[in-house]
A and B are shown apart, each in its own frame.
Chain A
Amino acid sequence: MGIEVNGRKIDWVENETIKQLLRRMRYTFPLVVVKIDQKVIPRKDFPDVVVPDNSRVDVIHMISGG
C-alpha cells in the first residue's frame, strides 16, 4: 500500500483527504493545482476528496510573476 506524490513514494493513509495530504507533505504553498491519476481536482474539493491507495498525485505549485 502506498501512493506517489510528485514522484516520491509515501505511505497511503486511509480516508486521508487532499487537504490533509498537502499538510502531511508540508506543502505550504497556498496555490496549487492537484491531479490524482491525471484527473484535476478542483481546489474547493480538497477538504472532501479522499486520496485512493496506489494513486499518483501531482501537486503543481503556481508562483506569481508574468
Chain B
Amino acid sequence: MDKQKFDKIKEKLQKSSVGVAGAGGLGSNAAVALARAGIGRLVLVDFDEIEESNLDRQYYFLDQVGKIKVEALKDNIKRINSAVKVEILNQKLEKGSMEQPFHDVDVVIEALDNAETKTEFVEEILLKLPDKPVVAASGVAGYGNSDRIVTKRFGALYMCYDEQAKSSEDDVLLAPRVCLMANWEADLALEIILGGDSGY
C-alpha cells in the first residue's frame, strides 16, 4: 500500500463531513463505509425504528430491533471507528425544510426509499443549496445485471443509476445490490471530497 497517499487521504477525510438522508439500506451501509474510511464527521437523519425485516440489507443487528435507527447506527459506527463525530437527527425530512440539516456538510448523500421523497429531496437540495454536491441512487431493487449501474453527473448532482431497474414496489430489495449502491454512493462522496484519484 502507498502509505504516503493513504496518510494524506486520511488527513483530508478526517477534516471532511458527509450528511446522509435516510438510515435504511443505502444510508446505514454508506455511513459505515465512510466511517471505516475515516470520515471526520457524519450527519445522519432518519425517523424510523429498526424492524426485523430490515436486517436482510441494513447495517443493524437482531438485538437492535425496536431501536431508533440513527441511534443504533451511531452505536455501530462508534464500535468501528470511535473517532468519527456522529450527529444524529431522529426526524422525518419534511418538504420545505429538507435541506436544513445539511448546510454545513461537504457532501450530501440521498439514501431515501420511495421515488416521491427521493425526487423532492434532490430537487430541494439542488434548488436551495445549489453548490452542494449531492450523491443520489436510483435503481436499487433486484439482483444481477449490476454492470448496468453507472455514475451520471448533472452539475452538482451525482447519480448512481440503473435506469432499467424496476421500482422496489415491483421487485425485491436484497443486500448485494443495495450494499453495492450504498458503497457506490460512499465511494462517489470520497471522490468528490478528495478531488478524484489524481489529487493524491
Interface residue total, chain A, C-beta cutoff 8 A: 17
Report whether B119 and A32 are in contact in the complex, using a CB–CB cutoff of 8 Å: yes
Report whether B154 and A31 are in contact in the complex, using a CB–CB cutoff of 8 Å: no
Q: How far is the CB of A44 from chain B (nearest CB, A)?
A: 10
- Chain B residues contacting A60 (CB-CB under 8 Å) are 122, 138, 152, 154, 157, 159
Q: Which of B104-132 contact A (CB under 8 A)?
A: 111-116, 118-119, 122-123, 126-127
- Chain B residues contacting A66 (CB-CB under 8 Å) are 22, 24-27, 111-113, 118, 137, 140, 168, 178
- Bound complex: CA A35 to CA B152 (Å): 13
Report whether B123 and A65 are in contact in the complex, using a CB–CB cutoff of 8 Å: no
Report whether A63 and B165 are in contact in the complex, using a CB–CB cutoff of 8 Å: yes
- Interface: A43 (CB within 8 A): yes
- Chain A residues contacting B155 (CB-CB under 8 Å) are 35, 38
Report whether A64 and B27 are in contact in the complex, using a CB–CB cutoff of 8 Å: no
- Bound complex: CA A63 to CA B112 (Å): 11
- Bound complex: CA A66 to CA B76 (Å): 19
Report whether B24 and A42 are in contact in the complex, using a CB–CB cutoff of 8 Å: no
- Interface: B87 (CB within 8 A): no
- Chain B residues contacting A38 (CB-CB under 8 Å) are 154-155
Q: How far is the CB of B21 from chain A (nearest CB, A)?
A: 10
Q: How far is the CB of A15 from chain B (nearest CB, A)?
A: 24
- Interface: B75 (CB within 8 A): no
Report whether B138 and A58 are in contact in the complex, using a CB–CB cutoff of 8 Å: no
- Bound complex: CA A66 to CA B113 (Å): 4
- Interface: B40 (CB within 8 A): no
Q: How far is the CB of A52 from chain B (nearest CB, A)?
A: 18
- Interface: B5 (CB within 8 A): no
Q: Please, which residue of chain B has its CB at the minimum distance from the CB of A35?
A: B154
- Bound complex: CA A30 to CA B111 (Å): 19
- Interface: B38 (CB within 8 A): no
Interface string of B145-156 (1 = CB under 8 A from A): 000000010110
Q: Which residue numbers of A lie inside 8 Å of B, CB to CB?
A: 30-33, 35, 38, 40, 42-43, 58, 60-66
Q: A38-B154, A65-B139 given; name 16 further pairs at CB < 8 Å.
A: A33-B119, A38-B155, A42-B127, A60-B154, A61-B138, A62-B136, A63-B115, A63-B139, A63-B166, A64-B114, A65-B25, A65-B113, A65-B178, A66-B22, A66-B25, A66-B118
